[in-house]
Amino acid sequence: MAPRKKTRSRPKKLGTRFAQNPIGTTVGEMKKLGIPRWATKAMLLLTTVGAISPTISRQANSIPLASTFTGIGARIRARILGMRRSR
């Protein structure tokens, strides 16, 4: 009798992986793109600052290109606050 053929499971969608492990997924995707590690850390830090504190994000916006990532964080903060208010 021939051996059973081993089939691979279907890879998870990016959104599913991100929902389960947001930081690990982001770092993995950055590695795939070949972005340097220091740049990845800076992007994650600026996005987190934008999501946590509007005051600090205003100060961080003086750094070139920082407003892009603090803006993403601000949208995340607005979405989270919108969820809390609707309950």
Q: Over 80: is that where the pLDDT of 2 sits?
A: no
Is residue 33 one of the residues assigned to a domain? yes
Is residue 4 one of the residues assigned to a domain? no
Is residue 8 one of the residues assigned to a domain? no
One-letter amino acid identity for 68?
T
Q: What angle do CA 75, 28, 83 make, to 5 degrees?
A: 25
Is residue 2 one of the residues assigned to a domain? no
pLDDT at 85: 59
Tell how far CA 71 is from the center of its chain: 13
- Assigned token pair, 65: 């290109």
Is residue 17 one of the residues assigned to a domain? no
pLDDT at 86: 52
Count: domains in the chain: 1
Is residue 43 one of the residues assigned to a domain? yes
d(CA 19, CA 1): 43
Domain that holds residue 78: 23-86
pLDDT at 4: 81
Range in 25-39, 46-60, 71-85 with the lowest mean pLDDT: 71-85
Is residue 10 one of the residues assigned to a domain? no
Is residue 3 one of the residues assigned to a domain? no
Q: Over 60: is that where the pLDDT of 22 sits?
A: yes
